[in-house]
A = this chain, B = another copy of it.
C-alpha cells in the first residue's frame, strides 16, 4: 500500500493512487446508477481495467464496503464541521445543497434503495440524529413536545428518506447527469412550502381522531422505541 518514499501519511498518499481514483469513481457511479452499476463501467470511469478493481479491493462487494466506510467517514467529518459551526440540524437536507456533499447524500439514498443490513443501521443512525435535533428544537421552544419522541423522530426520518427514495425512482433523469445538487434543489423546492404548512398548522381541524386513537390503544411510549418505519394513513 505504500512504496513511494514521500513523507505524506499513508492515508494522504493513497488519495493520489489509482485505488483512490477507483473509490472516487465508484462512489460517483454508484450514486448515479445504483449499486447494480457494472464493475467495468466504474473501471472505465476511473480510467483503469476492471481487473485492477478486484485486484485492489478483492471483489465488488468489498469495493462497496470500502465506499460505504469512506462515505460514512466523510459524513462524520461534515457533521463535525457543521456542529462546530453551531449550525446543528439534520444533515441530509443541508448536505444535499452543499456542492461537495451532495454525491454523498445521494450515495446514502442508494444505500437505502438497495436495502440490507447497512440500510437498517444507517436509518437508526439518522433517527438518533433526528431525536437529538428535535430535542434541541424543543428546548429552544421551536418544536412542540411529543407523546413519543422516538416514534416521532422515526416518522419524520422515514418520511424524509422515503420521499428521497421516491423522487429517485420518479425522476431518475435528475441523477443521470452528474448534477446531484439539482436533485436536492428540486426536492426541497417542491416540498418545503407544503411541509412548512403541515408542520405549522397540522392537517386536521380537531384533535378528535387523535384522542380517540389514544383512547383506543393503551400507553404510547415508555422509554425505548420498538417499531421502525413510517407511512401515515394518507
Contacts and interface: CB of A to CB of B under 8 A. Distances in A.
A56 interface: no
A156 B78 CA distance: 30
Interface residues of A, number: 79
Contact of A170 (B92, B119, B191, B234): B119
A17 interface: no
A120 B170 contact: yes
The interface residues of chain A, by DSSP majority, are classed as helix
A228 interface: yes
A176 B159 CA distance: 24
Interface of A: 89-90, 92-93, 112-116, 119-120, 123, 130, 133, 141-144, 146-148, 151-152, 154-172, 186-207, 209-210, 213-214, 217, 220, 226-234
